[in-house]
Structure 1
Amino acid sequence: MQIVVNGEAQEILSECTVFQFLENKAVTLKAAVVELNGKILTQEHWQSTFLHADDRLEILIFMGGG
C-alpha cells in the first residue's frame, strides 16, 4: 500500500499504526510532531491510529541547537 511521507510516496507492506511506522523509521519519538492528512495527531493517538492507502503523513523533528 502506498502513503505519502513528507511529500514523497512510500510503499508499506500492510496497515500499521503511526507509532509502528515511526519506530520502523527510527524516528526520535520525543522530538517528533506528526500531521496526518492535514491535521496534527497528538502522541496519545499514535498507537491507536492506523495508516491507510493514500494517507499523507508529515513528520517534523525538532532539534536543539545553539
Structure 2
Amino acid sequence: MQIFINGKKEEIEDDMSISKLLKAKKIRLEVVTVELNDKIIEKGKYSEIVLKPEDRLEFVYYMGGGEENAK
C-alpha cells in the first residue's frame, strides 16, 4: 500500500498501524510527534490507528541543541 511520509511516497504493508510503522523505521516515540492528514495524533492512539492508502504522515522530531547562554 502506498502512503506519503514527510512528502515522499512510500510503500508499506497493508493493515499497518502508526506504532508498527514507527517500530519498522526504528523511530523512538520519545523523539517524534506524528501528524496524520494534517492532524496531530496523540501518542496513546498510535497503536489504534491503522493507516490507509494515500494517507499523509509527517514526522516532527524533537531536537536538542542551541546555545546555553543565548540572549
Give the CA RMSD over aligned residues.
0.8
- Runs (5+) with no aligned partner, structure 1: none
- Percent identity for Structure 1 against Structure 2: 38
Equivalent in the alignment of 1:16 = 16
Deviation at 1:16, TM superposition (A): 0.7
Rg: which structure is higher?
Answer: 2
Equivalent in the alignment of 1:7 = 7
In structure 2, distance between residues paired with 1:2 and 1:33? 21
- Runs (5+) with no aligned partner, structure 2: 67-71
Which amino acid in the other structure matches residue 61 of structure 1?
Y
Equivalent in the alignment of 2:25 = 25
For the 8 Å contact 1:28–1:61, the answer to whether it is kept is no
Deviation at 1:51, TM superposition (A): 0.4
In structure 2, distance between residues paired with 1:21 and 1:37? 16
Deviation at 1:13, TM superposition (A): 2.2
DSSP-derived class of the 1:23 partner: helix
Equivalent in the alignment of 2:69 = none
TM-score (norm 2): 0.88
- Give the length in aligned residue pairs: 66
| Mapping of residues 28-39 of structure 1, within 5 Å | 28-39=28-39
In structure 2, distance between residues paired with 1:53 and 1:41? 18
Runs of 4+ in 1 over 2 A off after TM superposition: none
Matched, 1:48 2:48: yes
